[in-house]
Chains A and B, each alone.
Chain A
Amino acid sequence: MNTLEIKNLNVTIDGQRILKDFSLTLPKGEVHALMGPNGTGKSTLAKALSGHEDYEIESGEALLDGEDIIGMEPDEIARAGLFMAFQYPSEIPGVTIANFIRAALTARLNEGETFRAPDFYKELYARMDELKIDRKFTSRFVNEGFSGGEKKRCEILQMAMLKPRYAIMDETDSGLDIDALKIVAEGVNKMRGPDLGILIITHYQRLLNYIVPDKVHVMADGAIVRSGGPELALELEEKGYESVTAEPAGASS
């Protein structure tokens, strides 16, 4: 029950099948890495799980602590506890980071609960300090005019504030210089714990030097072809995707 269990997911875009019987189990408390070359369907998995209407789910299940999120509205999926750190976060004119996160938290309140602004700002500032985001950013518009690294840190900030049960981080390392990468990794490592399962999508092993995963999955052509421990990421780095994916799935785990 304490897992995000993706079973035989088949997803098409514009009639073209991208995910092919994709299966993956992410236990709460673990960090898994999903690796694979460009165009294999990693982002498709992320978008499809978050309920994006462009991605047609033909069959399969995604059980979040036992509850199938397939077919749910995107906002319901998010409130059910799945967080998506996007590869290309949107820029939202006129909406400040503080108001955006506040609205997301307010949407999660149970009946009778009220939003406490002082507590909110206290926590927001603490998380921003950790991620080395200038506090002035609270009144900046979401992602508008941000550098690539600022956008990614802003995603991690939202993740820290929303406290999901599972998070999928899509290419969070892309566009980050080494300092920003370390800050992001530190932020994520702080969140690691028994109440959160994280799936890190990346096609470089670089980030995994800083966030050491419990498991590594290699994806090719819409499905996982190999799974193993952290050493699999190093092997990939050394030998390249082609030779690694040529070996039978599960051979090294």
Chain B
Amino acid sequence: MSTETLSVGTGAIGDADIFAARQEFSGGLPDWFTTMQREHWTRFLESPDPTRLDETWRFSDLRPLSKIAGFVPTPFEKPDADDLIARSNTVKNPAGQLVFVDDNLAAARVMDAELEKKGVIFTTLFDALNNHGDLVREYFMKETPQLGSEKYEALHVALVRSGVFLYVPDGVEVDRPFVVYNWTQQEKGAVFPHTLFVSGKHSKSTLVEFQRAASTETEHLVISNAHVFSGDGSETNHRIIQDWNTKTLSFQLNTNNADRDTNAKSIIVNVGSSQARQEVHGKIFGSGSNVEMYSVNVPRKDQQFDQRTLQTHLAPHSRSDLLFKNALLDKSRTIFSGLIIVEEGAQQTDAYQTNNNLMLSGDAESNALPGLEIKANDVKCSHGATTGRIDESNLFYFLARGITRSKAHELIVFGFLEEVIEKFGDEALEDYVRGRLAEKSLA
């Protein structure tokens, strides 16, 4: 890393001139975009910090938020990270692949030429802004989660410089996944990965994101956004495996937007971060759609996973299913706060929201705040949260077969999580996730 680069526009987030200094590097980007960034910077500065009184931050540990000002947005330069590029090989034979290290594209873009011919766009956000500006403009920040992190979302938009634009045209079906690796490397670095996934009518595609750190020892701030727009009759599969190191303060602010007759499925696996704030808003704009929002969480030690979800039904005859499974070890904490909103006229909605917590330690703490807000009269909705420990008679059954107590615990925990993991529908990826959870969280 050259010191010259560091001296130009790479102070900390709390420095007065950081935004202006970074904007010097925005040459060539569309005006609407840089204007939007400026507005968001102002909004970031003017927005108050969350407080204990905010419903959307209930039970959250607010102390780490005060450290945000001290993180340094990573410099604009091609990273030297051959080992990380080599390790970005979890999915064999992807349809396309992008590898970022500290918000900079690290390896040459991989993309199936046949798909390119069919009009599929899979590229960096900045490349897309330059070459497909109008298309990006139509969707960029069009929908937001509105679940409490607006200040940090504003910071994200103001400082975003890296990201992925996936556009699958009408009628194009892609079986192999598009894959993104985001790595953090620089000590005290702040990164702002952005994902914009637009699927055309009757298209089918899968996007898998791996979030990782080069080292276990460095501290990071990550504010990432991912927005999926599923067009009429399309199937979208979006997966995020959040595996930052445990010195990372992370935000994942997502929307899943479904038009008519879609099958929009998302799974988020949380392994890493010291504190991971996850906001997911499923918005169902069209009827006949099925929107699935699943999450697997295995916090250990002092990790805190803060989950805020919203399922908004704006159209009749659609289904949404949300399932968040948390297995808590050590002194870890989770907060699940979920709301289903069925708007007036969204008749014959089926909406489900479930949060299951498996407490593996007496010191762990789970908080669940499920809710419903129904303005239509002909709907099927259920919401529920459970908290339990390992069932002793089940445990005995394992022991009686000669399986050790620790292995039995592991199998029971995976059994608990399996309901979501099997939803990947991709055996290699499922095995990767199981292996990663076993290695990192249950070892």
List residues of chain A with CB under 8 Å of any chain B CB. Answer: 50-52, 73-75, 78-79, 84, 86, 89-95, 99-101, 103-104, 106-108, 141, 158, 162
Contacts and interface: CB of A to CB of B under 8 A. Distances in A.
Contacts of A104: 401-403
B397 interface: yes
A104 B417 CA distance: 20
Contacts of A103: 398, 401, 403, 407, 411
Given A75-B405, A90-B394, A107-B407, A95 B412 contact: yes
Interface in B378-407: 391, 393-394, 396-405, 407
Interface of B: 391, 393-394, 396-405, 407-408, 411-412, 414-419
A94 B402 contact: no
Contacts of A73: 399, 405
A94 B403 contact: no
Q: B-side binding surface: helix, strand, loop or mixed?
A: helix
A99 B394 contact: no
Max count, chain A CB within 10 A of own CB: residue among B394, B404, B405, B415: B415
Given A75-B400, A141-B418, 16 more contacts: A50-B400, A51-B400, A73-B399, A74-B396, A90-B391, A92-B398, A94-B414, A94-B416, A100-B411, A101-B401, A103-B398, A103-B401, A103-B411, A107-B403, A107-B404, A107-B407
A160 to B, nearest CB: 13
A145 to B, nearest CB: 14
9 contacts: A74-B400, A75-B398, A90-B394, A90-B397, A92-B397, A92-B412, A93-B418, A95-B414, A107-B404
B441 to A, nearest CB: 16
Contacts of B404: 75, 107
A86 B399 CA distance: 13
Contacts of B398: 75, 92, 100, 103
A93 B417 CA distance: 10
Max count, chain B CB within 10 A of own CB: residue among A50, A90, A141: A90
Given A52-B396, A90-B393, A107 B414 contact: no
B166 to A, nearest CB: 32
Nearest to A80: B402
A232 to B, nearest CB: 30
B419 A94 contact: yes
Contacts of A141: 415, 418
Given A90-B393, A92-B397, A78 B412 contact: no
A51 B398 CA distance: 12
A126 B156 CA distance: 58
Contact of B415 (A51, A94, A107): A94
B407 to A, nearest CB: 6
A91 B412 CA distance: 11
